């Protein structure tokens, strides 16, 4: 299949979705005070594990919001709460005029159409006994049951072509595909019912380097051509730098910094953001070995016993006594939001 056919197919899908897309830049999702917790057994007693605490953010139409953090930071819990796969303990998530977190029954089911997910493990997310045609058609059967068979088949083929697959793949089973191809199928399934918001949870992490960039480019192209809004969850800084307009840095369930991409990478303001950027390996031996860096000591504390005050202070090279006493609020500094008592003083100090 030629690249042009893929573009044409994507444009076709975009045109069809056009009516519902609304004005670019307007707010599509607004999350406030989100709290997600799990009841766990810890040392033979019931305990509350707070995975996400007081998180707020917005996603504008046609934009991609990146959520960055290490394992245990709460990034997947945010996605699960928005998809209503786990209950939120507090907060609101305003989406298309309704609070996602309050929806039930038929209204929740109807809303799912507009909020679709691309998974980390592409092969594991496909039913091994369903052909690709059936897999990609399934959301249409659920959300547009009245659609005639011929129209459905036409939409499935157009969608597969938009993700770089062809009619020859329709009747095949998942095991016949490589990881990269399976991820294309996962993307086609997520987009076929024309969702308003696409959540991608580590969509590139399980792929090989050479395939990762193919899928990264595909997601970005579809996002632009379909004017999609996306939430892109990843621990990989270079992936979010490529894919996202705006970023949220999470640590132990809390937002420590929020900024547009260029501010975050150009002038990171939170000591944790700086440490993350410094820790990323540089694929250039001379520069990698020449740079002076102070690696963070220790690891993220257990969410069952979060530190008092600032969540990052146990690993922060700049922590003061105040940081243990007082939890820093997320506040504006330049173009960024940052939760650090010492952000102004450390700013420009090259800390």
Partner 1 sequence: MPDPSAAPEPLLQIRALTVSYPAGAHAGALPAARATARPGARPARAEAHLEVVRGVDLDLAAGEILGIAGESGSGKTQLLLAILGLCGAGARLRGSVRYRGEELLALPAAQLNRTRGARIAMVFQDPATALNPYLTIGRQLTEVLRVHRGVGARAAERRAGAMLEAVHIADAARHLRQYPHELSGGMRQRVTLAMALIAEPQVLLADEPTTSLDVTVQSQILALLRELRERTRVAIVLVTHDMGVIAELADRVAVMYAGTLIEQAPVEALFAGPRHPYSEALQRCVPRLDGPPPQRLASIPGQPPDPAALPPGCAFAPRCAYRLEVCERSAPPLVQAAPRHWKACHYDEPLGRPGPAASAAAAATLAAGEVP
Contacting residues toward partner 1, per CB under 8 A: 1, 3, 70-71, 164-166, 172, 175-181, 184, 208-214, 216-218, 220, 235, 237-239, 241-242, 261-262, 265, 275-289, 293, 295-297, 299-300
Would you say 44 or 287 has its CB closer to partner 1?
Answer: 287
Question: Least CB distance from residue 228 to partner 1, whole Å?
Answer: 17
Would you say 19 or 281 has its CB closer to partner 1?
Answer: 281
Would you say 101 or 190 has its CB closer to partner 1?
Answer: 190
Question: Least CB distance from residue 176 to partner 1, whole Å?
Answer: 6
Question: Least CB distance from residue 278 to partner 1, whole Å?
Answer: 8
The DSSP result for 157-214, as a single string, is HHHHHHTT--GGGTT--GGGS-HHHHHHHHHHHHHTT--SEEEEESTTTTS-HHHHHH
Computed over its alpha carbons, how large is the radius of gyration of the chain? 21
Question: Least CB distance from residue 51 to partner 1, whole Å?
Answer: 16
Please check whether residue 49 is in contact with residue 303, taking contact to mean a CB–CB distance below 8 angstroms: yes
Q: What is the dihedral of CA 195, 33, 89, 79, to 10 degrees?
A: 30
Give CA–CA dist 265/241, Å, rounded: 8
Question: Least CB distance from residue 64 to partner 1, whole Å?
Answer: 12
Question: Least CB distance from residue 240 to partner 1, whole Å?
Answer: 10
Would you say 121 or 144 has its CB closer to partner 1?
Answer: 121
Q: How far apart are the first and last CA of the chain?
A: 51
Would you say 40 or 282 has its CB closer to partner 1?
Answer: 282
Reading the block at residue 263, the tokens are 């501010």
Which distant-in-sequence residues (6+ apart) come within 8 Å of 306 by Cβ? 50, 252, 253
Please check whether residue 162 is in contact with residue 222, taking contact to mean a CB–CB distance below 8 angstroms: yes
Would you say 104 or 289 has its CB closer to partner 1?
Answer: 289
Give CA–CA dist 102/167, Å, rounded: 41
Q: What is the dihedral of CA 305, 309, 315, 317, to 10 degrees?
A: -170
Question: Least CB distance from residue 276 to partner 1, whole Å?
Answer: 6
Would you say 91 or 174 has its CB closer to partner 1?
Answer: 174
Largest CA distance in the chain: 68
List b or e across 295-326, with b for residues whose CB sees 16 or more CB atoms inside 10 angstroms: ebeeebbebeebbebbbbbbbbebbeeebeee
Would you say 179 or 306 has its CB closer to partner 1?
Answer: 179
Would you say 14 or 237 has its CB closer to partner 1?
Answer: 237
Question: Least CB distance from residue 273 to partner 1, whole Å?
Answer: 11
Please check whether residue 338 is in contact with residue 271, taking contact to mean a CB–CB distance below 8 angstroms: no
CA distance readout (Å), 330 to 39, 61, 219, 256: 27, 24, 31, 7
Element (H, E) at 94: strand 90-95
Question: Least CB distance from residue 4 to partner 1, whole Å?
Answer: 11
Helix (H, G, I), strand (E, B) or coil at 121: coil
């Amino acid at each position: 299949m030629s690249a042009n056919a893929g573009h044409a197919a994507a444009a076709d899908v975009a045109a069809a979705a056009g009516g519902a897309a609304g004005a670019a830049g307007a707010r599509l999702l607004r999350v406030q005070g989100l709290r997600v917790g799990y009841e766990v057994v810890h040392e033979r007693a019931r305990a509350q594990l707070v995975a996400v605490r007081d998180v707020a953010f917005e996603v504008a139409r046609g934009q991609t919001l990146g959520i960055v953090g290490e394992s245990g930071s709460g990034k997947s819990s945010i996605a699960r709460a928005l998809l209503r796969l786990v209950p939120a303990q507090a907060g609101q998530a305003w989406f298309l005029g309704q609070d996602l977190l309050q929806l039930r029954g038929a209204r929740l089911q109807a809303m799912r159409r507009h909020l679709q997910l691309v998974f980390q493990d592409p092969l594991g997310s496909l039913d091994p006994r369903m052909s690709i045609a059936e897999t990609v058609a399934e959301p249409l059967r659920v959300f547009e049951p009245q659609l005639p068979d011929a129209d459905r088949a036409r939409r499935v083929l157009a969608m597969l072509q938009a993700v770089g697959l062809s009619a020859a793949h329709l009747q095949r089973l998942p095991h016949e595909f490589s990881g990269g191809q399976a991820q294309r199928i996962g993307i086609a399934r997520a987009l076929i019912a024309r969702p308003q918001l696409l959540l991608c949870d580590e969509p590139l992490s399980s792929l090989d380097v050479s395939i990762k960039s193919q899928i990264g480019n595909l997601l970005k192209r579809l996002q632009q051509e379909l004017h999609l809004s996306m939430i892109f969850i990843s621990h990989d800084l270079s992936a979010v730098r490529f894919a996202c307009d705006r970023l949220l840095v999470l640590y132990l369930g809390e937002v420590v910094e929020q900024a547009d991409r260029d501010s975050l990478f150009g002038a990171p303001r939170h000591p944790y953001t700086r440490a993350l950027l410094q820790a990323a390996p540089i694929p250039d031996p001379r520069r990698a070995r020449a740079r002076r860096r102070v690696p963070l000591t220790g690891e993220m504390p257990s969410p069952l016993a979060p530190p008092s005050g600032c969540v990052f202070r146990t690993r922060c090279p700049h922590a003061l006594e105040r940081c243990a006493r007082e939890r820093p609020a997320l506040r504006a500094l330049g173009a960024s939001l940052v939760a650090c008592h010492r952000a102004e003083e450390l700013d420009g100090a090259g800390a």
